[in-house]
Structures are given as C-alpha cells and as structure tokens.
A and B are shown apart, each in its own frame.
Chain A
Amino acid sequence: MVITVYGPGCARCHETERVVRNVLAELQSDADLQKVSDYQAMAAAGVLATPAVAIDGVIKLSGRIPKPDEVKAWLA
C-alpha cells in the first residue's frame, strides 16, 4: 500500500505528514509513505487544495489535516 501526502511544505502539510506517520507507527503498518511537493505532480493527481492524502493513487482527502481515526479507516 502506498500513502501519498501532497503539500508544498506549508505548516498544515507537515502536520498532515506527522498525523499519517504516527498512525502508521501505531498500527505497525508497513505501508509506504511518500511526500509530493512538486506542483506538476500535484496537478496531475488532481489535487486542488493542499494538504491532500491519497491511498494507492486515490485521493481520500484534500484541503485539511486528517484526524488519526480517518487515516486508520483508510488503512483498514
């Protein structure tokens, strides 16, 4: 499983990455966490608002920081 966090490096994007990382550690998941800060790649993925999170290429959330429970639900 690949989790992608899209964000140009704003505070909310770092916070999003932290939330996802903590959930991965908590669940001892071996999912692959990727960070994308390139605008071209973001646009190609269809991201309109950052931070955004995609699981295996499917955008699950954009424009806000996810709650840990949301991340757990995506991984389940």
Chain B
Amino acid sequence: MPVMAKPRWLWMAVGGLAGAAVWTLAYRNLAGVARWVTYGLAGLEPGSRLSSAVEFFLYEAPKVLLLLVLVVFGVGIIRSFFTPERTRRALAGRRESVGNVLAALLGTVTPFCSCSAVPLFIGFVTAGVPLGVTFSFLISAPMVNEVALVLLFGLLGWKVAALYLATGLAIAIAAGWVIGRLGLERHVEPWVFEVRAGAGADGDAPLSLDDRIRAGTDAVADIVGKVWPWVLGGIAVGAGIHGYVPEHFLAGIMGRGAWWSVPLAVAMGIPMYSNAAGIVPVVQALIGKGAALGTVLAFMMAVIALSLPELVILRKVLRLPLIAVFVGVVGTGILVVGYLFNAVL
C-alpha cells in the first residue's frame, strides 16, 4: 500500500501542522464564541452581573486549557531530555553558589513529584550534592512549574509570568545558599548518610523522536488530565468574584497600603495545599477587586512552594530544626518578593 509506505516523519509533520492550525483557530475565536454563547444562545442581558460572570468563565476557561495543552506538551518534550539521575550527576560535587544556580534551573525542567522528595533527597545528598544545593532543587522544582506559568501568562499577562519565574528562581537560589551556609547537616537524620546509595537507572538509553513526542502527549494526559477540574473550579470561583464582588472591595484589606497583609498571606498559604491551577484564577479575580499583586502572589507562592503534606514527608529525613529553617528561609524569601512586587508595580 503506497500510503502506508510514506515515511513516518511526514505523517508526524502533517499531524503537527493540522493540530497547530486547529489550536490557533480555536484560540483566536474564543472571545467571539464566549460572547455569542452568553448573549446570543443563552440570551443573557449585557451588563448584568450574571452575564459578566458567565462570559468571563466561557472565555477564560477554554483559553487557559488550550494554553495548558500546548505548554505542557512542549515541557513534556523538554523534560524527556532530563532525568533525576542526570541532574544528580550534574550537581554532584558542585561548589555552592554555582551549584545553587544550576540546581534551581535544573529544578524547573527535571521531572519531579513531591511524593519522590525523600528518595531524591537521599540520592542527592549521598552522591555528594551539597545540602544547600539539594534544597535549591527541592524549592525550585515545585514552585517554578509550567502550570503556574501558563495560568499567570494567560490570566495576568507575560510580565507577571516573567516576574514570577525570575523571583521564584531567585528564592530557590538564595534560600538554598543560606541553608548551605548555616551548616545544618547535623539536623539531617543520621541514617541518610549511612545509606550506600545504588547507582540507579542509567537513564541513558537514547530516546527516539517518537518517544519524546509520546512523552509530550503523556504529560498532557497526565498533567492536564489531573488539573482541569482545578482550572475550571478556580475560574468558576474567579468568575463569581469577577461578577459579584464590588470593585475596590479588597483594597482596604489586601491592598498595598495594608503592610500586614503580606505576612498574613504567607502565613495562611504555607499550610494550604493546592496547585497553581486552582489558585491563580482566584488570585486574578482578587487583583481585579483591589488586592495588591505582591500580596496575592506571595499567597500563591506560599501555597505551592510550601505545603504541609510535603513537610510531613520530609520529616522522614530531616529533623524539626532543619524543617523549621527551611520553612523560615523560604517564607522570608516569599515575603520579600511580596513587598517587592507591591513596591514596584
């Protein structure tokens, strides 16, 4: 059959182009479709609270989901070039400073799940990755993630997304460096250093282009499949706030004039466990009602970078003083960033 004989890359290219065309067409027509459904199909009255909330939801929800599919696919392919084993080799024996920077950067692209935080911690430390460098990785990996960036970009614009990326990395680098300087190795459970860590998977089997594309689609199925209810829920709450909460309602309590609102936001965010997908739409809606950007971003960072379940898991390898220092240093970094955003924007 001549059709079957055509090279695979041709089919992949055609499929890719068709997908890109469908994506672009959908993305460009979202605003019109949302308006048509709200006012034409549902016949809601323009200017009412309900119609404003409905139109907001119908526009933002598919927009963010489309962006997520695209970016998660791309990041899935990028991640197929990185493995925890390779990152460990890159960081082992690395000096601090350079090591902290490298660890924070690698934390953004190395596949990581907070449920593997403990084996990863042991594997890094026993392979000669300095404690502070390991922390730079452990801070950056959950905090600077593609889902947060997409939502910030889609809902608040590229400037906020870029600031988030830059300050998230800065916190991971600085906090890891500080923890390294404090010489807290004695607060790591002693058995960790006695583990004779095995070499682990070589992870060097070369991947084909097919494998990498499959890694991208797997990432979409896995990540978008997991966060979509959060996105829809978050945007629904955001739409409610958007339509029903009066303008400037929050200026007094969450505005930049209220200095105490930043530490309060961080303190509230640390024990909370959510992901960026649920929290960013709410953040965006709060900003629309007069909350200061730095305050709500600090809240969001605290929610996704520090969480009670992860701290409980880390307690298996870290003693309480080290956990307290970890929370304190990262929390302080987030606090600084919150005040900084409030001051410059």
Q: Across the interface, which residues of B come within 8 angstroms of A59, CB to CB?
A: 200-201
Cβ-based interface call for B181 (8 A): no
Interface size grouping (class) on chain A? 20 to 34
8 Å CB interface, B105-126 against A: 111-113, 115-116, 118-120, 122-124, 126
A57 to chain B, nearest CB (A): 9
| Chain B interface helix/strand/loop/mixed | helix
Beyond A40-B191, A40-B195, whether A46 also contacts B116 by CB under 8 A is: no
The answer to whether B116 touches A50, judged by C-beta atoms less than 8 angstroms apart, is yes
Alpha-carbon distance A50/B317, docked complex (angstroms): 16
Residues on B with C-beta less than 8 A from A13 are 115
List residues of A (45-73) whose CB comes within 8 Å of B's CBs. Answer: 45-50, 52, 59-64
Q: Which of chain B's residues have a CB closer than 8 A to the CB of A8? A: 115, 118, 313
Cα-based distance from A48 to B200 in the complex (angstroms): 7
Given known A-B contacts A39-B316, A63-B84, A63-B113, A49 and B198 have beta carbons under 8 A apart: no
Q: How far is the CA of A61 from the CA of B113 in the complex (A)?
A: 15
Give the CA-CA distance A13 to B119 in the complex, in Å: 14
Quick check: is B145 within 8 A (CB to CB) of the other chain? no
Q: Show 26 A/B contacts (Cβ-Cβ < 8 Å), sorted by A.
A: A8-B115, A12-B113, A12-B115, A39-B119, A39-B316, A40-B122, A40-B195, A43-B126, A43-B192, A43-B195, A44-B196, A44-B198, A46-B197, A46-B199, A48-B84, A48-B120, A49-B111, A49-B112, A49-B113, A60-B201, A61-B201, A62-B200, A63-B84, A63-B111, A64-B111, A64-B218
- CB pair A43–B115 under 8 Å, yes or no, is no
Q: Which of B84, B195, B196, B197 contacts A49 (CB 8 A)?
A: B84
Q: Does chain A have a CB within 8 A of B256?
A: no
A48 contacts B119, C-beta separation under 8 Å: yes
6 further interface pairs, Cβ-Cβ under 8 Å (given A40-B122, A48-B124): A39-B317, A40-B195, A48-B200, A49-B120, A50-B116, A64-B218
Query: With A and B bound together, what is the CA distance between A52 and B238 in angstroms?
Result: 39
Q: Interface readout for A16-38 with B: 1 if CB under 8 Å, 0 if not?
A: 00000000000000000000000
Q: Which residues of B contact A49 (CB under 8 A)?
A: 84, 111-113, 116, 119-120
Is B35 part of the contact surface with A, judged by Cβ < 8 Å?
no
- Assess whether A50 is in contact with B88, with CB atoms less than 8 Å apart: no
With A39-B118, A39-B317, A63-B83 in contact, is A46–B123 under 8 Å at CB?
Answer: yes
In B187-219, the 8 Å CB interface with A consists of 191-192, 195-201, 218
Complex contacts, B185 vs chain A, CB 8 Å: none
Number of A-B residue pairs at CB separation under 8 A: 78
Contacts of A40 in B (CB 8 A): 122, 191, 195
Bound-complex Cα distance A10 to B85 (A): 21
Flag if A43 contacts B84 (CB, 8 Å).
Answer: no
Max chain B C-beta neighbours (<10 A), residue from A10, A47, A60? A47
Does residue A75 face the partner (Cβ distance < 8 Å to B)?
no
| Chain A residue contacts of B126, Cβ below 8 A | 43
A64 cross-chain contacts in B, Cβ below 8 A = 111, 218
What is the distance, in angstroms, from A52's C-beta to the closest C-beta of chain B? Answer: 8
Q: Within the complex, which residue of B112, B115, B199 is in contact with A10, where a contact is CB–CB below 8 Å?
A: B115
User: Which of A10, A44, A61, A63 meets B197, CB within 8 Å?
Assistant: A44
Contact in complex: A50, B200 (CB < 8 Å): no
Q: In whole angstroms, how far apart are the Cα atoms of A64 and B214 in the complex?
A: 13
